[in-house]
Amino acid sequence: MLSVACNGIFDDIYDEAPLPAEGDLYIDASNWTQWHYVCLHRLADGASDSLRQEPAVVTLDIPTAATEAFDADSVGIYTYWYDVYGEGISRRELRACYPTARQPEPDHWDLAFHRNNVRTNGGAALETSITDISRVGDHGAFATLDFVADTWNETDVWTLQDRMLQGLVGNQRITVNSELSRWLGIDIPPMPPAFNHNGHVFVVRLADGTYAALRLKSYIGADNVKCRLTIEYKYPL
């Protein structure tokens, strides 16, 4: 029987056979104005030739130029004031917003990364209590559990930092997976911010029903820059 804790699954699930594709991904997600799209299908053994012809990681800029009107999903830049020098970022006030073009995306992608934010492409995520990705078993152990889908967010994807000294940050309104984004927390106060590295394995159910396991191995680059991500992955489970 599978035991479930409030933050995931106890580490009692083991592999009995090697998985088709596993390794490390390095994503430099330190830039505030970029999303980095990853196609796990291109990294899997047995990927089709047509998939392998394209890069597994594609970087695209966040639109920040104003357009004439909001679209149906009200995408745009939402500027919040955050009480960064007082109670912290949990205290905030919307000060302005303006519409932009929609976020561009590649034709094929499964995950997207922006600093400590993660998106899925119609997928959903589940945090486990496993800290060793080699101990993650077949996806059948997770199939009946409650996965968390992406939801709209206008407060966490910090994009424009030109007025940060006044506590004002322009955020991109976009769907984000709050569950998977828990693998790296940023706390303010203190200043400078404190980074909380989760260390757990997350299981992602992709839109096509396949499963991947991911663990944030490191969030600091060799040059000590934050949000340069080394990610352990297994795909497919």
**What pLDDT, in 10s, does the model give residues 130-139?**
999 999 988 8
Q: Assess whether pLDDT exceeds 70 at residue 159.
A: yes
Under 8 Å between Cβ of 150 and 45: no
Res 19: pLDDT: 39
What is the band of 116 on the pLDDT scale with cuts at 50, 70, 90? Answer: very high
* E-strand stretches of 69-131: 76-83, 88-99, 111-114, 117-120, 124-127
Residue 179's contacts (CB-CB under 8 Å, 6 or more residues apart) are 124, 125, 126, 127, 147, 148, 202
Considering only CA atoms, give the Rg of the chain. Answer: 18
- Domain spans in the chain, listed from the N-terminal domain onward: 22-124+149-199
Q: Which residues does residue 127 pair with via DSSP β-bridges, in sequence order?
A: 202
What tokens appear for 133 in the block? 């990705």
pLDDT tens track for 221-237: 999 999 999 999 999 99
pLDDT tens track for 26-81: 999 999 999 999 999 998 876 677 777 778 999 999 999 999 876 666 899 999 99
For residue 194, give the nearest of 206, 202, 185 by alpha carbon.
Answer: 185
Res 112: pLDDT: 98
Q: Which residues of 157-192 are buried (b: 16+ CB within 10 A; e: fewer)?
A: bbbbeeeeeebbbbbbbbbbbebbbbbbeeebeeee
